[in-house]
Amino acid sequence: MVAKNRKQTGKSPTTQTDRDRSPLVSPPAKSNVRRAGREGKAFNGSHPNGLAGIRHKLGLTPSAVAKLGITLLLAALTGYLHWHHLSQLFENDRHFSHLSNLEKEMAFRTEMGLYYSYYKTIIEAPSFLEGLHMVMNDRLTEYPLVINTLQRFNLYPEVVLASWYRMYTGVMGYFGTPTKMCWSINRGEGLTPVDSCEGMGDPAYFYVTFVFLLNGAMMSLFFIYGAYLSGSRLGGVVTTVCFFFNHGESTRVMWTPPLRESFAYPFLVLQMLLLTYILRTRSPSRTAMVALGISNLCFMLPWQFAQFVLLTQVASLFASYILGYLGAAKMQSILVTHMITLAVCFVLMFGNSMLLTSFYASSLISIWAIIALRDRFAQVFKPGIVLWVMQGLAWVGSTVLLKFLLSTVLCASDDAHISGLIKSKFTSYQDFHTLMYTCAAEFDFLELETPLRYLRTLLLPINMLVVALIAGKTLQDIVRFLRDGGKASVKPDDVDEAAGSEIAARGELVYHSLQLVAFAVLAVLIMRLKLFLTPHMCIMASLICSKQLFGWIGERFKHQVAVFAVMAIMAVQGVANMQAQWGIIGEFSNMPQEELLDWIQENTLPGE
């Protein structure tokens, strides 16, 4: 153990909308719409502000406000628990609070140290703008070339955090408030003591704290997502419990905070939650579409791989459209939102050609054209399987053709290493990049042990059951459609609210099932991408609380007892998994590297 002696005094700062009628979506217990003529009685006070004013604007009854409050309180609790869980695991693994500044930076291995170095460059620069100029005109990374690392490495998270850090330390310094507490650490074994600091005034501490806070907020979104999708707060509990029980398969942010997915993935969860709301709502507002676009943008900016994930999303939505579960108007609105987001991201990434030459961009254009020509398709091909297949083939063919055409015209090959990696999975193709990637286990095929872990926590059996039920109802719709010769196919846009349509109403669940299949394919090809699959399986597990899917169990009490029984069985292996994580105790130390860095600092000049 190390000895920790206080060096500096001072305290650190403590630290429904219009829901489509759906046989698969749990309806609210009471209507949220007030009767005409009674609104004045409910809000007759002299000050219709505060909570009462908000309740009036949202059209919520007092009981609905209470239920919403409980949901948000539980979401906040799960977010706090996840933040604490991540922070504790990281501290246990590295003993981060006792490391010197140099050791903290050394603890960010591989590309993590590269990302952190640009954050450090900005906070140590004379001003924020000078630091930003330095990372946008970097001479060290690819010397003698001068590159824009903000464009090359998607460094917007570091830019934002560096600006916040400078503002925080500036404000605290102005008021004379201490922001960190430093100690002298006796490392023993004849090693020299080092200084170690804790508190938000420490750059590394500030950096990892915000990463963990962001991922804590992500868990709050998961709770809300599960509750909204299943129509029950118990569904939110199931989602979060599944996530914690399968935590090692769901995320690696506690071991690798600076990686791009640590910043990007929480915004994908928000984006998919908003998309679920849009799919459920008959006429989504412009505000909802803008929110979808902003969350899309926040997901794309930090991570270049985001485009491949969004490609699977667009493909899943298009498949839902082909089968008649999603109307043309709503599909086009979603496509326009994606297109605008892509254009904004292209500008903010300083004209990164990789975005325009991606399969994602080509797919957006292809699907838009196919929907615009839907009447032509209907005239040429008979409604049914032939029409569906031809639309699918048209999408695949036009997407591939357009992608390679744009790549040729723009002379862009930035994503060639990714295409090469995928190609190497199915052929004997090899090059430098594929050999380098496949040396790491996370870029290999999914290991057999992973589905076995899903099996032990019941995550896999529950998902198979849920998907089987949804697939069964979908097949019934398809058979009915084919038996009626296509006449029973009614697009959601053409159905009045009173009559409703089972085909349109199940669209959100069909999409989620297709998205699960897409994530499974990605995970099988590249094991690292199971970090998309496992959380989505946790979301799908929330549907065991759906009364419409599992109403055959019996009344509400029996249904809840059955859900708690399932969670109890999951806990047998789930708790063991969590205890295994808590049992990881380590302390970072790399004296040879530390001595090398000290020698470089003492014997070389800056810029050499």
Query: pTM for this one?
Result: 0.87
Q: How many helices (H) and strands (E) does the chain have?
A: 29, 3
Distance linking the first and last C-alpha atoms of the chain? 38
**Amino acid identity, position 97:** S
Of 11-15, 56-60, 186-190, 472-476, highest mean pLDDT:
472-476
Residue 366: DSSP 8-state = H
Q: What is the mean pLDDT of residues 116-128?
A: 95
Supply the pLDDT for residue 2. Answer: 47
Collapsing DSSP to helix, strand or coil, 61 comes out as coil
Question: Does residue 513 surpass a pLDDT of 60?
Answer: yes
Confidence of residue 552 (pLDDT cuts 50, 70, 90): confident
Question: Band of the pLDDT at 37, cuts 50, 70, 90?
Answer: very low
pLDDT of 436 > 90? The answer is: no
pLDDT exceeds cutoff 60 at 584: yes
Q: Is the pLDDT of residue 34 over 90?
A: no
Confidence of residue 486 (pLDDT cuts 50, 70, 90): low
Say what the pLDDT of residue 555 is.
Answer: 87
Measured distance CA(95)–CA(88) in Å, rounded: 10
Give the pLDDT confidence score for residue 183 in this predicted structure.
83
Residue 354 has pLDDT above 90, yes or no: no
The band of 607, judged by pLDDT with boundaries at 50, 70 and 90, is: low
Confidence of residue 407 (pLDDT cuts 50, 70, 90): confident
Least confident of 14-18, 147-151, 303-307: 14-18
Q: What is d(CA 570, CA 578) in angstroms, rounded to the nearest whole number?
A: 12
CA distance 102 to 112: 14
pLDDT tens-digit series, residues 292-343: 999 999 999 999 889 999 999 999 999 999 998 999 999 999 999 999 999 9
Question: How does strand 3-6 pair with strand 194-198?
Answer: unpaired
Identify the pLDDT of residue 92: 94
Per the model's pLDDT, the better-predicted residue between 436 and 338 turns out to be 338
* Mean pLDDT on 247-273: 95
The pLDDT score that the predictor gives to residue 444 is 73
Per-residue pLDDT, 438: 67
* 487 pLDDT tier (thresholds 50, 70, 90): low
Q: Burial of 468 by CB count in 10 Å (0-12 exposed, 13-18 middle, 19+ buried)?
A: exposed
Give the 3-state DSSP-derived string for 501-560, with helices as H, strands as E and coil as C: CHHHHCHHHHHHHHHHHHHHHHHHHCHHHHHHHHHHHHHHHHHHHCHHHHHHHCCHHHHH
pLDDT band at residue 112, thresholds of 50, 70 and 90?
A: very high
% of the chain at pLDDT higher than 90? 56
**Residue from 409, 414, 322, 413 nearest 374 by CA:** 322
593 or 137: which leads in pLDDT: 137
